[in-house]
Structure 1
Amino acid sequence: MRRIHLILRRLVLLAAFLILALIGYGYVRQGSQHLPWTDLDLAQPVGLFTGRKLAALTHEPDRCRALLKRAGIAYTPVEPGGSGQCRYSDAVRLKSQEGSARLSPAVVAPSCPVVAALKLWEWHVVQPAAQQTFGQAVRSINHFGAYSCRRLYGRPQGDFSEHATADAIDISGFTLADGRRISVAADWSGGGKDADFLRRVRKGACQFFATVLSPDYNAAHRDHFHLDQAERGAFGWRGCR
């Protein structure tokens, strides 16, 4: 019994040390976004818990839209629609802004948490990677859509896809400032700069989305990146393949 108490005491001390170390790390890095209990701010540098805070916005649509506005992201709210398992209530449509990549086609209206993650991904991963790889910006992020009332993989039974609530978007590629297109279907396995760019932005998306699936996952994703904000709790699993 004494040995068990000693082990428990050491575990408590270790947990306390880790919490203090996390707090210290957050302050040393001069950013409260590294701390799990601070409020999300899209205009601040990305922190260790930014991705989980983004996913948690699925339950706070008003707060999510306020964060978009505060960060200077122009959008138009979309009226709730659908029904049952396919109901969406917090979709927004991005407006064109100078110096920012547009979604193409522009009619897409993902949920607010997906849009928030898309913008952080663009700012912190996509545009820097394009400049470093190609020496130019990304003009548009191309996609296959966001909302779709269907089950996973289009099966007749089983769990519904995150697309059924507009909490996902399928990215098919990118168009550079000079008009050249980088396609997941054509360039993922082609080697060279285009493939390196796609792998870099796929990996970077894992900071901001609860689930990131690419051609490395299975044949169903051979031509796109599936990005979603499935809310699995503060310490739920996150998928990145």
Structure 2
Amino acid sequence: MRARRDPVRSEGSPRRAGPGAKLALLLLLATAAAPQARAEPAAVPLPPERPQDLKSAAPAPAAAPAPAPETPLPPERPPELNPEPKPAAPEPAPAAEAPVPAPAPPPAPPPLPPARPPELSGEAALALKVAAPDDGACRVRLKRLGASFEALPRIENGQCGAASPVKLTALEGVALPQSATLVCGAAEALVRWATEVQAAAESELGAPLKAIAIGTSYECRGQNHDRDAKLSEHAYANGIDVMSFSVEGRTAIPVTAAAAGTPEARFLAAARSRACGFFRTVLGPGSDAAHANHLHLDERERSSGHRLCQ
């Protein structure tokens, strides 16, 4: 029988391995890797035993220290050197309770004012406020000032009137061509003012005052001749209008605005300003149109003693 030959392989062609060869190869590889994975690390060798001659003996326990001798106590202090004990301080006595003060009595009410005198009570007190001035003493003063006058009876004319008027006819050394009917207080103010006007005439005009022209004294009318206005002080014989002055050697000087800087202007200004010291109201040229040509002088009383001097 003829032997089976393997086909001749040409050079360069690979030889195929069979299934058995592949399995054997895999087992070989697994066997080689197992010892390497399971190998444990080698144990560290112990050092050789120490020789007996080099072993040190165990240290002996330290001996306990001997007890120190006891310190002797000092001798007792002689009794004569011991200080005598101080006596115990007495306990303070309990403080006595302070007495509770009695409540203060209520303050006494202020004393009542003294009783008002009967003459100052009721109607008597009101009568004192509206009582007429002492005209008897006023008339005595008019005579001493050199005024010529006569007493007039009481004037009663509705709301107008005067209790004790006088008719003034002349002043000392100064004529009143038109007599003036005034209450005594206004008449006295006119007489005293006239003495100042006489001095102003001598200093500014170099001549004595001879006469004073009067426009209106008592007249029952309203202010500025207005029938619907409040009653004028003329209605009570308490006001007077001065129209002009007569000086010796000169014509009458009217109460109008004189040329500035002239002796007449200085005289009129002095007469007007000095009237404010005697009358409570002084009006004239420049005050308003109703007083452009005369001086209005009156004794009207105002609150707090106020004066109107324009």
Deviation, structure 1 residue 84 = 2.5
Deviation at 1:113, TM superposition (A): 1.2
Partner residue of 2:291? 221
Q: What is the percent sequence identity of the aligned residues?
A: 33
User: Structure 2 CA distance, aligned partners of 1:224 and 1:145?
Assistant: 10
1:163 aligned to which of 231, 234, 249: 234
* Higher RCO (CA 8 Å, separation ≥ 6 residues): 1
Matches within 5 A, 1:68-87: 68-87=142-161
- Cα RMSD, aligned residues only: 2.1
What secondary structure does 2:186 align onto? Answer: helix
User: For 2:277, what is the secondary structure of its paired residue?
Assistant: coil
| Counterpart in the other structure of 2:221 | 150
Superposed, which structure 2 residues align to 1:98-113 within 5 Å? 100-105=173-178, 107-113=179-185
Q: Which letter does structure 1 place at the counterpart of 2:239?
A: A
Whether the 8 Å CA contact 1:172–1:184 is kept in 2: the answer is yes
Structure showing greater radius of gyration is: 2
Q: Secondary structure at the match of 1:141?
A: strand
Q: Is the 8 A contact 1:146 1:170 kept in 2?
A: yes
Per-residue deviation at 1:172? 0.7
Q: Write the deviation string for residues 151-179 of structure 1: whole angstroms up to 9, x where unpaired.
A: 11122223210000110000011011225
Equivalent residue, structure 2, for 1:66: 140
**Against the structure 1 CA distance between its residues 80 and 232, is the aligned structure 2 distance closer, same or farther, given a 3 Å change threshold?**
same
**Could you tell me which of 194, 204, 207 is aligned with 2:264?**
194
Match of 2:212 in 1: 141
SS at the partner of 2:224? helix
The partner residue of 1:120 within 184, 189, 192 is: 192
Helix, strand or coil at the partner of 1:139: strand
Q: Matches of 1:147 and 1:222 in 2, distance apart? A: 20
**Structure 2 residue aligned with 1:174, among 215, 235, 245?**
245
The 3-state SS of whatever aligns with 1:148 is coil
Q: Which has the higher helix share?
A: 1
Which amino acid is 1:237 matched to?
A: H
Change (3 A) 1:85 1:146: same
Change (3 A) 1:157 1:190: same
Query: d(CA) in 2 for partners of 1:58 and 1:163?
Result: 17
2:281 equivalent among 194, 208, 211: 211
Worse overlay, 190-199 or 214-223 = 190-199
Structure 1 segments (4+ residues) deviating >4 Å: none
- Unaligned runs of 5+ residues in structure 2 are 1-129
* TM-score normalised over the length of structure 2: 0.54
Bigger mean CA offset, 58-67 vs 207-216: 58-67
Distance 2:131 2:283 in 1: 21
2 CA distance for matches of 1:131 and 1:72?
Answer: 19
Q: CA deviation at 1:58?
A: 6.5
Write the distance in 1 (CA, Å) between the matches of 2:161 and 2:137. Answer: 20
Distance 1:221 1:198 in 2: 15
Query: What whole-Å deviation, never above 9, does each CA across 1:191-239 have from its counterpart, x for those lacking one?
Result: 2111111111000000000100011210110000000011236x32101
1:101 counterpart letter in structure 2: V
SS at match of 1:145: coil
Query: When the two structures are superposed, what TM-score results if normalisation uses the length of structure 1?
Result: 0.68
